[in-house]
Chain A
Amino acid sequence: MTRQGQEEGIVYLSIMRRLLALAAIAVGCLVLLSACGSDDESGDTTAAQETTASETTEEAGSEVEELVAQSLEPATGFDPPGPAFDASAAAGKRIYLIAPMSIPFVQQGVTGLEEAAEVVGAEIVAIDGKGQVNDYVRGIEQAIAQKADVILIESFPVTLFESQMAKAKRAGIPVISVENHDPGPMPPDTPDAVFGSVNQCHACAGEAMAQFTIADSGGEAKVVVIWSSDVAGIGEPQVEAIESTFADLCADCTVEVVDAPLAQWSTRLGNLTQSTLTANPDVNYLLPLYDGMVSFIEPAVKQAGAASRVKIVSFNATPSVMESLEQGGPVVADVGVGNVRLGWAIADQAFRAIAGVDPIEDPKIPVRLFTAENIDTIDVSAPEETWFGDPAEWRQGYEELWTGGS
């Protein structure tokens, strides 16, 4: 019995020890983390720079208002993204697209891609990648096996699929990366099979968001930017553009950046919004990079009792958010890019790959800023391509581009 008693004592001692160890680990982790936290804070103080002379502030004020006025205007004419070429070689060719088809803006892009393919007589085969790597791999393998003429990979970086890229290279199929970074030269680690890329200008969107915020706040914005680190390729250029615009044009503004990975939007973004507003009681603008975040942010702002002080400025011009903007909703400004036009730009790059001409680096798709000031000039219930200027202009522009050089 005594022995049993001792054993029991040992057991509970060991349980106690484990519990204490658990607590110690938790405390240790937290102390460690708080060190990182204080690093962040020191970053904030550098962001909050001292006011310079009032003259420069005024100059910056008028400059920023001019920039905002430009972003509010629809695009006119067509700025050709590259030299004209003969796209007739694309007739009868099959272009495979692997993309997350359940996302509405991807579908709008497919609409544009199909329209453009019809112009030259090419065929589009769209495969749903469902946002999962295994479905992408299957889609790419399928495209290679069926002897695609071009493979388009949207939303997932091509570097993820190295062995499929090698296979495409051996099969002589050019690959085009869509919406993975900003316009410009391809990153150095790009696989050989990749012909080029097509991307919206996320930095331009970031600039427009920041410029509006500076002008709207009268140069007194305390901003929290919410980005998603799991789409860093497109998020980083946008965040950097926002930060540098504030640094250049608004000495009194402060910018903090917080991370809400896509996978956490539904479960944690509301919570993050509330704790961010609690931790920073003077924040007056939230800049979520994607307006799909707004449905989680908006209720959290209300719940934090901050609806009267906080305005939301975002990007994507998603129809439901545009409707709420029209009705004076919590989003005061939304920047967008024509998705159907992006589809045409993707087709343009694919035709260049087939025609054997050089790829272009920038499809030059303009962004437009929507606010209460110009929302009435568009019909929100009409197709999104009509929101960014006359779609006939760029359609005609592309068609002329493709019959050139012959």
Chain B
Amino acid sequence: MTTGTKQVKVEAARRRGFQLGDFLGRFGLIFVWAAVALVFALIQPDKFLTEGTFTTIFGSQAVLLVLAMALVIPFAAGEYDLSVSGVLSVSLVLVGELNVNQGWPILAVLAVVLLAGAVIGAVNAFFVVGVGVDSLVVTLGMGTLLVGAGFGINIETTGGISQGLQEAVNTQFLSLPLAFYYGVALTLVLWYVFRYTPLGRYLYFVGSGRDVARLAGIRVQALRAGSLIASATIAAAAGVLLAGSLGSADPNIAQTYLLPAFAAAFLGATAINPGRFNPLGTFIAVYFLVTGITGLQLLGLAGWIGDIFYGGSLILAVSFSHLAARRRRVE
């Protein structure tokens, strides 16, 4: 009897342990985010605990958020997409060129730009899925090609982008620009797709094992191609958002978004649904990183320190998540 009771207790302890580990894995990043915010609030309450800081953190990252969301889809399906910043660049420059220099109405521009994104995604998919080249290589090449194309379309800075687009992006609602809410809406849509639809589950299935997924009757090739088309189309939408928020277009500015978006997607895979690229985790990652950067900026520490924070948090968080996942697998 004693052994029996003991066993039951151990079982209960084990379940509690699992729940705690699971809980920490899911929400660890949120705790660290809260801790970072708390530290900044304690160091400089008069500067950090203000509405200005709140709008700085949540109002300035919509383009990065949308681009990171674009990456979540192919990542979930096991594909890389290094061309998103190239798409962002071409889309931004196209908005400037067509809307300002060619005088097209903005809605027509939007349609063309999003279509261009989808076409670029389809070309990526042709080489990756049809020809069978590694997505890392194809999208790296495509990204470089598109950056060149951006310069080719218009090398100059183009100002005076449609007032309507600028208003649709920058008008404030509850102290935050509408761009933020578009990012939130996209996050929620993707979250719903990944969480509640067969499509989302199939994407993860394809990502974890293509052959197994194929044997299970999933249309692996179509999903891989679709994920690349979706990421390029969303990246093109991010370009429209960038054009609206800046009110100008320039081929120089989009490339630097690539690595922060990758960092956010990878960091996002350590939260909410650890080990899987997921929209809510990515959302948290984007705003965790910008909270740190903003806090440091308020302390007068801009520039290289921001990079140290960015890179350091990524390594620590992903290592932690990796270790936690490995321990779980061992058990």
**One of B72-80, B123-131, B227-235, B290-298 contacting the partner:** B290-298
Contact of B107 with A by CB under 8 A = no
Q: Which listed residue (B13, B158, B254, B316) contacts A5, Cβ 8 A? A: B13
Q: How far is the CB of A277 from chain B (nearest CB, A)?
A: 7
- Which residues of chain B have C-beta atoms less than 8 A from A12's C-beta? 17, 20-21
A11→B7 contact, CB < 8 A: no
A16 to B323 CA separation, bound complex (whole angstroms): 12
Given A2-B10, A16-B24, A30-B40: A260 touches B303 (CB 8 Å cut-off):
yes
A267→B257 contact, CB < 8 A: yes
Contact with A along B51-64 (1 / 0, CB 8 A): 01101100111001
Contact with A along B20-63 (1 / 0, CB 8 A): 11001000100110011001100110010010110110011100
- Which residues of chain B have C-beta atoms less than 8 A from A268's C-beta? 293, 302, 306
Q: How far is the CB of A292 from chain B (nearest CB, A)?
A: 7
- Which residues of chain B have C-beta atoms less than 8 A from A25's C-beta? 316
| Interface size range on A against B | 35 or more
Q: How far is the CB of A4 from chain B (nearest CB, A)?
A: 8
A318 to B159 CA separation, bound complex (whole angstroms): 12
Contact with B along A263-297 (1 / 0, CB 8 A): 11111101110111111010000000000100110
Contact of B250 with A by CB under 8 A = yes
Q: Which listed residue (B6, B20, B307) contacts A2, Cβ 8 A? A: B6
Most buried by B among A102, A103, A279, A292: A279
Q: What residue of chain B has the Cβ atom nearest to residue A103's Cβ?
A: B252
Contact of A34 with B by CB under 8 A = yes
B245→A278 contact, CB < 8 A: no
Q: How far is the CB of A284 from chain B (nearest CB, A)?
A: 16
Contact of A18 with B by CB under 8 A = yes
B294→A275 contact, CB < 8 A: yes
A266→B254 contact, CB < 8 A: yes
Contact of B198 with A by CB under 8 A = no
Given A271-B293, A302-B170, A303-B55: A278 touches B300 (CB 8 Å cut-off):
no
Q: How far is the CB of B55 from chain A (nearest CB, A)?
A: 7
A276→B331 contact, CB < 8 A: no
A36 to B21 CA separation, bound complex (whole angstroms): 37
A229 to B307 CA separation, bound complex (whole angstroms): 13
Given A15-B324, A320-B158: A260 touches B302 (CB 8 Å cut-off):
yes
A92 to B27 CA separation, bound complex (whole angstroms): 70
A4 to B293 CA separation, bound complex (whole angstroms): 42
Contact of A41 with B by CB under 8 A = yes
A298 to B32 CA separation, bound complex (whole angstroms): 32
A274→B323 contact, CB < 8 A: no
B172→A303 contact, CB < 8 A: yes
Most buried by B among A40, A260, A275, A276: A275
A156 to B203 CA separation, bound complex (whole angstroms): 46
Q: Which listed residue (A8, A37, A267, A324) contacts B300, Cβ 8 A? A: A37
A33→B305 contact, CB < 8 A: yes
Contact of B101 with A by CB under 8 A = no
- Which residues of chain B have C-beta atoms less than 8 A from A267's C-beta? 64, 256-257, 260
A303→B21 contact, CB < 8 A: no
A60 to B143 CA separation, bound complex (whole angstroms): 54
- Which residues of chain A have C-beta atoms less than 8 A from B250's C-beta? 292, 295
Q: How far is the CB of A181 from chain B (nearest CB, A)?
A: 20
Given A22-B32, A274-B52, A303-B55: A9 touches B245 (CB 8 Å cut-off):
no
B40→A19 contact, CB < 8 A: no
Q: How far is the CB of A392 from chain B (nearest CB, A)?
A: 26
- Which residues of chain A have C-beta atoms less than 8 A from B303's C-beta? 229, 258-261, 264
Contact of A299 with B by CB under 8 A = yes
Q: What residue of chain A has the Cβ atom nearest to residue B43's Cβ?
A: A34
A33→B32 contact, CB < 8 A: no
Q: What residue of chain B has the Cβ atom nearest to residue A39's Cβ?
A: B300
Within 8 A of A (CB), among B278-304: 290, 293-304
B306→A303 contact, CB < 8 A: no
Contact of B153 with A by CB under 8 A = no
Q: Which listed residue (B40, B256, B299, B302) contacts A259, Cβ 8 A? A: B302
- Which residues of chain B have C-beta atoms less than 8 A from A4's C-beta? 10, 14, 331
- Which residues of chain A have C-beta atoms less than 8 A from B306's C-beta? 264, 268
Contact of B253 with A by CB under 8 A = yes
Contact of A1 with B by CB under 8 A = yes
Contact of B320 with A by CB under 8 A = yes
Most buried by B among A16, A30, A31, A258: A30
Contact of A69 with B by CB under 8 A = no
A8→B302 contact, CB < 8 A: no
Q: How far is the CB of A282 from chain B (nearest CB, A)?
A: 13
Q: What residue of chain A has the Cβ atom nearest to residue B253's Cβ?
A: A266
- Which residues of chain A have C-beta atoms less than 8 A from B18's C-beta? 8
Contact of B251 with A by CB under 8 A = yes
A295 to B242 CA separation, bound complex (whole angstroms): 11
- Which residues of chain A have C-beta atoms less than 8 A from B20's C-beta? 12
B251→A102 contact, CB < 8 A: yes
A25 to B20 CA separation, bound complex (whole angstroms): 22
A1 to B7 CA separation, bound complex (whole angstroms): 7
A113 to B157 CA separation, bound complex (whole angstroms): 23
Contact with A along B231-250 (1 / 0, CB 8 A): 00000000000000111101
A261 to B305 CA separation, bound complex (whole angstroms): 11
Given A12-B17, A102-B252: A277 touches B52 (CB 8 Å cut-off):
yes
Given A1-B10, A229-B304, A278-B56: A33 touches B21 (CB 8 Å cut-off):
no
- Which residues of chain B have C-beta atoms less than 8 A from A281's C-beta? 52
B248→A27 contact, CB < 8 A: no
Contact of A356 with B by CB under 8 A = no
Binding site for A on B (CB under 8 A): 6-7, 10, 13-14, 17-18, 20-21, 24, 28, 31-32, 35-36, 39-40, 43-44, 47, 50, 52-53, 55-56, 59-61, 64, 151, 155-160, 170, 172, 177, 245-248, 250-254, 256-257, 260, 290, 293-307, 309, 316-317, 320, 323-324, 327, 331
Closest 5 CB pairs of A and B: A278-B52, A259-B303, A37-B299, A274-B56, A275-B297
Apart from A19-B28, A40-B301, 14 more pairs, CB < 8 Å: A19-B32, A23-B32, A26-B35, A33-B299, A33-B301, A102-B155, A267-B256, A275-B298, A292-B252, A296-B246, A296-B253, A298-B247, A320-B157, A323-B159
Question: What are 20 pairs between A and B in contact, CB < 8 Å?
Answer: A1-B10, A8-B17, A9-B17, A11-B331, A30-B36, A30-B40, A31-B39, A34-B44, A37-B43, A37-B300, A107-B155, A263-B256, A271-B297, A278-B50, A278-B52, A278-B53, A281-B52, A295-B247, A300-B60, A323-B160
